[in-house]
Copies of this chain bind each other. A is one copy, B any other.
Amino acid sequence: MNIRTAFCVSDHTGVTVEAVAKSVLSQFPAFEFSLIVLPFIDSPAKAQGVARQIAETPDALVFSTLTDPALRSALRESGARLLDVFEHLAPALESELGQSATPSGGRTHGMANNYESRMEAVNFSLALDDGLQPQRLDQADLILVGVSRVGKTPTALYLALQYGLRAANYPLTPDDLDHPALPAVLLSHLPRLRGLTLSAERLAAIRQVRYPDSRYATLEQCRAELAAAERLFAHHGLPVIDTTRMSVEEIAARLRNPL
């Protein structure tokens, strides 16, 4: 296996450049890449320091999201090949918009900017985790419904942190699953309900970690609960996501858009 070191250099958090690097490097499966993320490289002195570190690394690849061309030049002193995300995009936009780019230190890298509303959404999602405070469900943007350990909490938190959505989640207990309809407290919120499901094998594995050798973690119990939950989803015509092969980012991106 060919192993190459890939530096990810950013003048801000490094989240964007790391995501771009991972994505494009995954298109070269014959190689194994060791990633080194260097965030907050926002001065010529820091860029020169990084260039020296890169120069000492054999065959290094260098990804960057540096908005200031002077910092890119400093990195280039390393002699390594520089793959800058903005290098082609900024000039293309300049010609399209008829205006010069203003290096901005990447202030808006990453995610939605509205810190307050995202933190407020996180607090909301925590306050309405696992069926808590059902009287506030009318304030939710989305309400995730599903059996225990199907991934409701991480998904709700990700929706809040990433997209600022007020995402509540409500667990379907074995008691709930015995009924032909969803719990009464959910019925006035049907348009905002989203069902989560999973393969029984995967759910059993997840529960097994939590409560080894319990009835709760048996394949049989998981199958029965998931089948009952899916019947309830179908009964009310809820949009449903099967999360078996999905990352939390994928689940959240699908939930954010119409299913």
Contacts and interface: CB of A to CB of B under 8 A. Distances in A.
Contacts of A88: 87-88
A70 interface: no
Interface residues of A, number: 69
Interface in A1-51: 4, 12-16, 19-20, 22-31, 39-40
Given A61-B93, A157-B157, A161-B154, A110 B19 contact: yes
B154 A14 contact: no
A119 B19 contact: no
This chain: copies in complex: 2
A214 interface: no
Contact of A109 (B23, B83, B110, B161): B23
A249 B19 contact: no
Interface stretch (A95-103, A135-143, A192-200, A230-238): A95-103
B19 A111 contact: yes
Interface string A143-159: 00000000101100110
A28 B102 contact: yes
A101 B20 contact: no
A16 B12 contact: no
17 contacts: A12-B250, A13-B249, A13-B253, A22-B108, A23-B67, A24-B101, A27-B103, A29-B104, A31-B97, A40-B257, A63-B89, A81-B92, A83-B93, A87-B88, A113-B247, A126-B153, A154-B161
